[in-house]
């Protein structure tokens, strides 16, 4: 089961977060070096439109999520949902993180 973590992104700014750790249900850290990570955010769970979040992981369970300034500029300020999915080299899929992304509006264009 995915653990919850809410994120805050500034519209029009580069976003990077490398402080996120993935755990198995028994609270042991997931060695993500053998997994492929994917992440998306959507306005709501049933939305057909999504924004891809660049995601990578390492052997100590840390996940790095990032969005370019151009990608965040294309987001309307407000609340979104996201999740991070890890796929093992054997094809096992695990959702490791999920939560709300709040996009703060910008005044400078």
Q: What is the pLDDT along the chain (109 residues), one digit of tens a residue?
A: 788 999 999 999 999 999 899 988 888 899 999 999 999 999 999 999 999 999 999 999 999 999 999 999 999 999 999 999 999 999 999 999 999 999 999 988 7
Pairing of strands 51-57, 93-104: unpaired
Whether the Cβ atoms of residue 32 and residue 63 lie closer than 8 Å to each other: yes
Q: pTM here?
A: 0.90
How many angstroms separate the CA atoms of 85 and 67, rounded? Answer: 17
Smallest Cα–Cα separation from 52: which of 82, 73, 79, 22? 82
Q: Which domains does the chain have, with CATH numbers?
A: 3-104 (2.60.40.4140)
Quote the pLDDT of residue 8: 98
Whether the Cβ atoms of residue 72 and residue 59 lie closer than 8 Å to each other: no
């Amino acid at each position: 089961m995915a653990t919850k973590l809410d994120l805050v992104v500034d519209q029009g700014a580069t976003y990077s977060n490398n402080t996120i750790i993935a755990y198995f249900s028994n609270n042991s850290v997931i060695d993500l070096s053998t997994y492929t990570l994917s992440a998306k955010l959507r306005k709501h769970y049933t939305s057909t439109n999504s924004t891809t979040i660049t995601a990578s992981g390492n052997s100590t369970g840390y996940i790095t999520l990032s969005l370019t300034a151009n990608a965040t500029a294309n987001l309307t300020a407000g609340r979104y949902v996201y999740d991070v999915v890890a796929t093992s080299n054997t094809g096992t899929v695990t959702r490791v993180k999920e939560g709300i992304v709040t996009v703060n509006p910008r005044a400078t264009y």
